[in-house]
């Protein structure tokens, strides 16, 4: 897949579901992110790549509302996630690298419980549909997730994200540990969410997978977004070149 | 359903699937039932036995043949402390103080200065009673059930998932607390039912039942808060369990053993032997009330002669021996009362010393409240002793008065003559009736304990609230 460079600064802030402007962020006196500008529109998948310590997780923490920016502006659907975390979190779903679920509950019970907490009370058929859409075999719906593989857990998390019908999705290393078939299946699900207009920020090391699904890819180096490339446009970028340039950094 | 209740419901479902929680609850309920039944059975037997012995003692006292009233005064009389029904719930210091008094002229009643009272501090340990189960074992079960309530969410990563659903960390902590409080209610339920049954049957006052239920509710609320607070403080469930176990051992096991020993060391009570020697020495110095010519009573004799306007005791219209007996009894009773009050004051100081440690271990406050409401505390025992002593004094003085008024001095000093009065005289004496403290007095006595427990709850509540806010920010 070819990817083009994009220039997104022309868009206004109201167009973006996930929006970070001139952000400096870090822990204590240590600054990790420098002048981060990241804007993701509805129905766009943005893959953020970078080496360990480049600031990917810090970026996610900003949108999750677990970290306040030292300066700059962070918004989720127009809401500051740090000062108004509860409201902001109604606007996104989050899938961590290792999907944590309640081991003593079944897949269906997990989704139902977490939906309840998000303020959505869905009937059993809606939950079943979400689980089926996420690709989980129906025989696993009522099994306790304690025995689920990582791929199955991710499907449960995706089902939750589908059922929540939120405008944004935050993903932390979603394809880490998945086999190629599961990765393909996962990307298919992301495509489904994109069609629904969900803005997706995906933090990953997996350039190939990102290139396969993302609309844009951003590269973080030492806390700075050094380059953004896109799948469409005049300056399309060859993924092989990207790989050659960034593989040495162990992204 | 609110988010808090939804979290609590899920926690309950988790508890129902948790073998430790289910088995622990069953075990505790069985223990509570065994403790209640055995305590109640023991209580019933003891109560019946005491009533029977009291009736027998009354009968024997009244059945004495016509005789000299001072012989009646030395025949003696037994008093049995009636059992409060709530003593089955918390026997308090009953097992250590004894419940029987032997009353005799010029003798302090038998219970005062008993060695058992040397360690009548409020904090004995170990009997299997409903109070023991709730005071010692219930917090332990709460720890095992709730230690991982919040820390498990953090450890497994579900805390992050929960928070990103829009749940606030405060809602999470309150939800866990509500779940644990529900569990506490389940633990408390058998005791509540038992206590209410006692009140419904009229065996105990509702005010005391409600005080006990309120006190133990505060106790379990306090522990629920402590468990959730520590659980939200620790990164791992294992750390939370270790910290809570250490707190339980300190608060429930060690301090209640150490502090009474410290109180005994700081404020030593004289032994029974020391007391008896001191009392006997001072008693002998008062003079012999059996001997109207004892020089120690010369001043009294002069006062009486002057009062009646005669110069010889033989000319008095009353029997001077009876009057000397009354005066001697008054003096000796003052002496006994002095020593008794001093001993009780020392014990009160010991208890105040112990109460000071309620800020380190709220168990002290709960125990005091529990024993006060159950009528098994030192104050209640003191009330029994004082009423018994007053009864003894009135009885002996009544007999002395009979001696003074029914027998002449000439007859009474004639060793060849038998001086008897009709037994109907002492049969007319009232029987001993113990009057326990009023509900208002008891409630006032429990106020300090309620205050301490409430203070603990407020402090833990504030700490939990602050920690819950921190919890939402402490994730990276």
pLDDT of chain B along its 476 residues, tens only?
689 999 999 999 888 888 888 888 888 888 888 888 887 887 788 888 888 989 999 999 888 899 898 888 888 888 888 888 898 899 888 777 777 888 888 777 666 444 444 444 444 445 678 999 999 999 999 999 999 999 999 999 899 899 999 899 999 999 999 999 999 999 999 899 989 988 998 888 999 999 999 999 999 999 999 999 999 999 899 999 999 999 999 999 999 989 988 998 999 888 878 888 888 899 888 888 888 888 888 899 999 999 999 988 888 899 999 999 999 999 999 998 898 888 889 988 998 899 889 889 999 999 999 999 999 988 888 899 899 999 999 999 999 999 999 888 888 888 888 888 888 888 888 989 989 888 898 899 899 999 999 999 999 999 999 999 888 775 65
Judge if A181 and A116 occupy the same domain: no
Judge if A9 and A86 occupy the same domain: yes
Residue A143 lies in a domain: yes
Judge if A161 and A183 occupy the same domain: no
Judge if A41 and A11 occupy the same domain: yes
* Token representation of residue A248: 């040495």
Judge if A33 and A85 occupy the same domain: yes
Tell me if B54 sits within 8 A of B78, measured CB to CB.
yes
- Does A87 contact B166 at a Cβ distance shorter than 8 Å? yes
Tell me if B177 sits within 8 A of B214, measured CB to CB.
no
Reading chain A (251 residues) residue by residue, the pLDDT tens digits are 333 333 333 334 468 999 999 999 998 888 899 999 999 999 999 999 988 888 998 999 999 998 999 999 999 999 999 999 989 999 999 998 889 999 989 999 999 999 999 988 889 999 999 999 888 999 999 999 999 998 899 889 989 988 988 999 999 988 877 778 878 888 888 898 899 899 999 998 878 778 888 999 998 988 998 888 887 655 555 666 666 666 555 44
Judge if A10 and A128 occupy the same domain: no
What's the sign of the alpha-carbon dihedral B154, B157, B161, B164?
positive
Judge if A84 and A170 occupy the same domain: yes
How far off is chain A from B209, nearest CA to CA, in Å?
40
User: How many CA atoms within 13 Å lie on the side-chain side of A186?
Assistant: 27
Residue A32 lies in a domain: yes
Name the residue among B160, B472, B476 with its Cβ closest to that of A85. Answer: B472
| Cβ neighbours around A61 below 10 Å, total | 23
**What is the CATH classification number for the domain harbouring A46?**
3.40.50.300
- Does B158 contact A89 at a Cβ distance shorter than 8 Å? no
How far off is chain A from B156, nearest CA to CA, in Å?
6
* Last residue in a domain, options A165, A182, A199: A165
- Does B165 contact A104 at a Cβ distance shorter than 8 Å? no
Q: What is the pLDDT of residue B118?
A: 42
Residue A38 lies in a domain: yes
Q: Which residues pair with B344 in a beta bridge?
A: none
- Does A86 contact B167 at a Cβ distance shorter than 8 Å? yes
Judge if A161 and A171 occupy the same domain: no
CA B21 to chain centre: 33
B175 interaction partners in chain A (CB closer than 8 Å) = none
Judge if A171 and A76 occupy the same domain: yes
CA distances from B320 to A80, B408, B411 (A): 100, 8, 11
Spatial distance between the Cα atoms of B239 and B242, rounded to a whole number of angstroms = 5
Q: Where are the beta strands (DSSP E) in B352-462?
A: none
Tell whether B473 lies on the interface with A, counting CB pairs under 8 A. Answer: yes
Spatial distance between the Cα atoms of B121 and B93, rounded to a whole number of angstroms = 8
Judge if A153 and A72 occupy the same domain: no
For A142-204, give the secondary structure using H, E and C: CCEHHHCCHHHHHHHHHHHHHHHCCCEEEEECCCCCCCHHHHHHHHHHHHHHHHCCCEEEEEE
What is the number of domains present in chain A? 2
Nearest CA in chain A to B18: A104
Judge if A82 and A178 occupy the same domain: yes
Name the residue among B14, B160, B165 with its Cβ closest to that of A96. Answer: B160
Name the residue among B1, B162, B476 with its Cβ closest to that of A66. Answer: B476
Residue A31 lies in a domain: yes
Tell whether A100 lies on the interface with B, counting CB pairs under 8 A. Answer: yes
* Last residue in a domain, options A120, A144, A165: A165
Please provide residue B383's backbone torsions phi and psi, each rounded to the nearest 5 degrees.
-60, -40
Tell whether A127 lies on the interface with B, counting CB pairs under 8 A. Answer: no
How far off is chain A from B247, nearest CA to CA, in Å?
29
Query: Which burial class, exposed, middle or buried, applies to A18 when counting CB atoms under 10 A from its CB (0-12, 13-18, 19+)?
Result: buried
SS3 at position B421: strand
Q: What is the pLDDT of residue A50?
A: 87
Tell me if A190 sits within 8 A of A200, measured CB to CB.
yes
Residue A209 lies in a domain: yes
Residue A96 lies in a domain: no
Judge if A176 and A83 occupy the same domain: yes
* Last residue in a domain, options A148, A165, A182: A165
- Does B165 contact A27 at a Cβ distance shorter than 8 Å? no
| Cβ neighbours around B476 below 10 Å, total | 12
- Does B164 contact A64 at a Cβ distance shorter than 8 Å? yes
Residue A131 lies in a domain: yes
Per the structure, the complete domain to which residue A191 belongs is given by 2-91+166-249
Residue A225 lies in a domain: yes
Of B7, B427, B233, the C-alpha closest to A113 is B7
How far off is chain A from B163, nearest CA to CA, in Å?
8
Q: Which residues pair with B421 in a beta bridge?
A: B67
* pLDDT tens for each residue of A120-172: 888 999 999 999 988 899 999 999 999 999 889 988 998 998 898 899 999 99
Name the residue among B17, B167, B472 with its Cβ closest to that of A104. Answer: B17
Q: Where are the beta strands (DSSP E) in chain A?
A: 2-5, 18-27, 30-40, 45-50, 71-76, 92-95, 168-172, 199-204, 216-221, 224-230, 236-238
């Amino acid at each position: 897949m070819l990817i083009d460079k994009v220039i997104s600064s022309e868009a206004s802030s109201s167009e973006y579901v996930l929006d970070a402007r001139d952000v400096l962020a870090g822990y204590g006196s240590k600054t990790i992110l420098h002048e981060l500008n990241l804007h993701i529109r509805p129905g766009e998948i943005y893959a953020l790549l970078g080496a360990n310590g480049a600031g990917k997780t810090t970026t996610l923490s900003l949108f999750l509302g677990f970290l306040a920016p030292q300066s700059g502006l962070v918004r989720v659907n127009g809401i500051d996630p740090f000062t108004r975390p509860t409201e902001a979190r109604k606007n996104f779903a989050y899938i961590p690298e290792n999907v944590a679920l309640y081991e003593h509950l079944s897949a269906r019970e997990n989704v139902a419980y977490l939906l309840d907490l998000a303020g959505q009370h869905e009937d059993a058929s809606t939950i079943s549909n979400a689980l089926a859409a996420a690709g989980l075999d129906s025989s696993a719906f009522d099994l306790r997730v304690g025995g689920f593989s990582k791929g199955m857990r991710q499907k449960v998390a995706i089902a939750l994200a589908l059922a929540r019908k939120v405008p944004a999705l935050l993903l932390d290393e979603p394809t880490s540990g998945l086999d190629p078939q599961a990765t393909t299946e996962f990307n298919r699900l992301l495509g489904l969410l994109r069609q629904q207009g969900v803005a997706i920020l995906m933090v990953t090391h997996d350039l190939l997978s990102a290139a396969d699904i993302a609309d844009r890819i951003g590269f973080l180096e030492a806390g700075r977004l050094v380059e953004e490339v896109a799948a469409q446009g005049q300056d399309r970028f060859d993924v092989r070149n990207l790989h050659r340039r960034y593989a040495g950094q162990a992204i | 359903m609110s988010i808090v209740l939804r979290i609590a419901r899920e926690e309950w479902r988790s508890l129902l699937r948790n073998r430790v929680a289910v088995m622990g609850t069953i075990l505790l309920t069985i223990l509570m039932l065994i403790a209640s039944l055995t305590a109640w059975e023991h209580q019933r037997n003891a109560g019946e036995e005491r009533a029977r012995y009291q009736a027998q003692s009354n009968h024997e006292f009244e059945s004495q043949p016509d005789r000299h009233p001072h012989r009646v005064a030395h025949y003696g009389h037994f008093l049995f402390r009636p059992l409060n029904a709530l003593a089955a719930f918390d026997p308090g210091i009953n097992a250590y103080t004894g419940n029987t008094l032997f009353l005799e002229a010029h003798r302090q009643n038998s219970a005062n200065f008993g060695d058992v009272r040397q360690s009548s501090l409020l904090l004995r340990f170990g009997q299997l009673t409903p109070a023991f189960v709730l005071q010692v074992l219930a917090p332990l079960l709460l720890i095992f059930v709730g230690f991982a309530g919040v820390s498990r969410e953090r450890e497994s990563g579900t805390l992050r998932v929960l928070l990103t659903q829009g749940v606030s960390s405060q809602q999470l902590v309150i939800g866990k607390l509500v779940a644990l409080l529900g569990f506490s209610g389940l633990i408390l339920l058998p005791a509540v039912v038992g206590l209410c049954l006692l009140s419904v049957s009229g065996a105990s006052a509702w005010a005391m039942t409600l005080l006990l239920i309120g006190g133990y509710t505060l106790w379990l609320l306090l522990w629920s808060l402590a468990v959730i607070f520590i659980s939200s403080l620790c990164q791992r469930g294992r750390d939370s369990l270790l910290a809570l176990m250490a707190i339980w051992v300190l608060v429930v096991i060690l301090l209640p053993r150490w502090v009474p020993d410290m109180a005994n060391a700081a404020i030593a009570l004289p032994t029974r032997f020391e007391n008896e020697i001191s009392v006997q020495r001072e008693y002998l110095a008062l003079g012999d009330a059996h001997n109207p010519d004892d020089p120690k009573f010369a001043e009294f004799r002069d006062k009486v002669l002057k009062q009646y306007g005669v110069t010889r005791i033989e000319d008095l219209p009353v029997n001077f021996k009876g009057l000397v007996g009354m005066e001697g009894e008054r003096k000796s009773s003052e002496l006994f009362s002095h020593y008794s009050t001093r001993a009780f004051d020392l014990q009160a100081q010991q208890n105040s010393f112990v109460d000071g440690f309620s800020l380190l271990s709220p168990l002290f406050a709960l125990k005091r409240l529990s024993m006060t409401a159950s009528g098994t505390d030192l104050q209640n025992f003191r009330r029994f002793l004082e009423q018994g002593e007053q009864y003894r004094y009135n009885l002996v003085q009544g007999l002395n008065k009979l001696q003074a008024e029914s027998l002449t001095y000439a007859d009474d000093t004639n060793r060849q003559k038998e001086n008897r009065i009709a037994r109907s005289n002492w049969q007319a004496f009232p029987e001993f009736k113990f009057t326990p403290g009023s509900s208002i007095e008891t409630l006032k006595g429990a106020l300090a304990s309620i205050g301490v427990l409430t203070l603990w709850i407020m402090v833990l509540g504030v700490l939990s609230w602050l920690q819950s806010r921190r919890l939402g920010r402490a994730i990276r």
